[in-house]
């Protein structure tokens, strides 16, 4: 894919990866990037980076009305990057496990599904296009201490596989991104090796330029994916052993 001249919508634009993606897209020559977040104020500073090419959007992907409004406003999009997501850092049996699971599914699965459904006709009308769904490497293997989030991202992985099959005949590509830990607000306070948002954004765009279907944008995710291909059951056991005593 040639990113030059593309018109892009990035959800979760107020987060570290979202803002890094938008700046990287401009560097690649994107003609316009819609920066979508729950409030305009959340992306005000980002828009100032390049007010001519970055357009702020108020978007709540869990609201059908909000998604419909944004779809009407962005009928020129030919690349959709579903980056918005939440992580409540709960185990499946944790005190807030049910609440966390419902909230994460609402955003990470249902919200992403709503965006795909709303923009598929737009991309097709614009002569095909691409949807990028930012999932997680722990959507491919559950890390039990973060079990509810993993389950929502596993649903997101299945979602993109289904969307890929349904949209291929309409000329729309669906690309999955599976990062490991990234140094953002979402992982604040968690002691572990983390990629930077800039590293993740750069790897995502490089993958798109190479027409990759699945992108593992950092060393941790690449290592886990290699292990999953060799022995998925062993990886499951390794992750299960990470439950604190």
Phi, psi of 135 (to 5 degrees): -100, -130
Which three-class secondary structure state does DSSP give residue 174?
A: strand
- Whether residue 245 lies inside any domain: the answer is no
Evaluate whether 37 touches 43 at the Cβ level (below 8 Å): yes
Mean pLDDT of 167-183: 95
pLDDT digits (tens, 9 = 90+) for 77-133: 999 999 999 999 999 999 999 999 999 999 999 999 999 999 999 999 999 899 999
- pTM summary value: 0.94
- Whether residue 13 lies inside any domain: the answer is yes
User: How sure is the predictor about 188, in pLDDT bands with cuts at 50, 70 and 90?
Assistant: very low
Residue 190 has pLDDT above 60, yes or no: no
pLDDT digits (tens, 9 = 90+) for 19-40: 999 999 999 999 999 999 999 9
Mean pLDDT of 140-164: 97
**∠ Cα 185 189 190 (to 5°):** 100
Q: Which residues pair with 10 in a beta bridge?
A: 35, 81
- Whether residue 1 lies inside any domain: the answer is no
- Whether residue 44 lies inside any domain: the answer is yes
- Whether residue 161 lies inside any domain: the answer is yes
For helices 112-125 and 147-167, give the axis angle rounded to 10 degrees: 20
DSSP letter for 61, please.
Answer: T
For residue 164, how many other CB atoms are within 10 A of its CB? 18
Mean pLDDT of 9-28: 97
Residue 9: left if φ>0, alpha if ψ -120 to 50, beta else—which one?
Answer: beta
- Whether residue 48 lies inside any domain: the answer is yes
Residue 194 has pLDDT above 90, yes or no: no
Domain containing 85 equals 7-240
Return the residue matching tokens 């060393």.
219
pLDDT, residue 193, reads 65
Does residue 34 have an active-site annotation?
no
User: How sure is the predictor about 235, in pLDDT bands with cuts at 50, 70 and 90?
Assistant: very high
Return the residue matching tokens 């005949």.
169
Q: How many domains does the chain have?
A: 1
Q: Is 171 exposed, middle or buried (0-12, 13-18, 19+ CB in 10 A)?
A: exposed
**Max Cα-Cα span within the chain:** 54
CATH number for 54:
3.40.50.720
49 against 183, higher pLDDT:
49
- Whether residue 140 lies inside any domain: the answer is yes
Mean pLDDT across the chain, nearest whole number?
95
Percent of the chain as helix, strand, coil, to the nearest 5: 50, 15, 35
Altogether, the residues listed in the chain come to a count of: 245
Residue 55 has pLDDT above 90, yes or no: yes
- Whether residue 236 lies inside any domain: the answer is yes
Residue tagged active-site, from 109, 149, 178, 239:
149
Nearest to 33 by CA among 48, 15, 52: 52
């Amino acid at each position: 894919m040639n990113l030059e001249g593309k018109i892009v919508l990035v959800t979760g634009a107020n987060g570290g990866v979202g803002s890094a993606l938008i700046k990287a897209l401009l560097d690649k020559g994107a003609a316009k990037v819609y920066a979508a977040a729950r409030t305009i104020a959340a992306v005000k500073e980002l828009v100032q980076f390049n007010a001519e090419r970055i357009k702020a959007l108020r978007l709540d992907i869990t609201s059908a009305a909000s998604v419909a409004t944004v779809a009407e406003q962005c009928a020129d999009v030919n690349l959709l990057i579903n980056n918005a997501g939440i992580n409540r850092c709960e185990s499946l049996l944790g005190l807030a496990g049910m609440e966390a699971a419902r909230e994460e599914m609402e955003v990470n699965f249902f919200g992403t599904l709503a965006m795909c459904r709303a923009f598929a006709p737009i991309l097709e009308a614009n002569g095909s296009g691409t949807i990028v769904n930012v999932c997680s490497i722990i959507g491919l293997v559950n890390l039990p201490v973060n079990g509810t989030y993993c389950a929502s991202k596993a649903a997101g992985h299945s979602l993109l596989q289904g969307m890929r099959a349904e949209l291929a005949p309409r000329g729309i590509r669906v690309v999955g991104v599976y990062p490991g830990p990234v140094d953002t607000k979402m992982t604040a306070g968690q002691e572990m090796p983390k990629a930077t948002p800039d590293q993740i954004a750069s790897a995502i765009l490089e993958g798109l330029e190479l027409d990759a279907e699945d992108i593992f944008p950092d060393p941790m995710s690449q290592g886990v994916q290699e292990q999953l291909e060799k022995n998925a059951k062993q990886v499951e056991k390794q992750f299960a052993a990470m439950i604190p005593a």
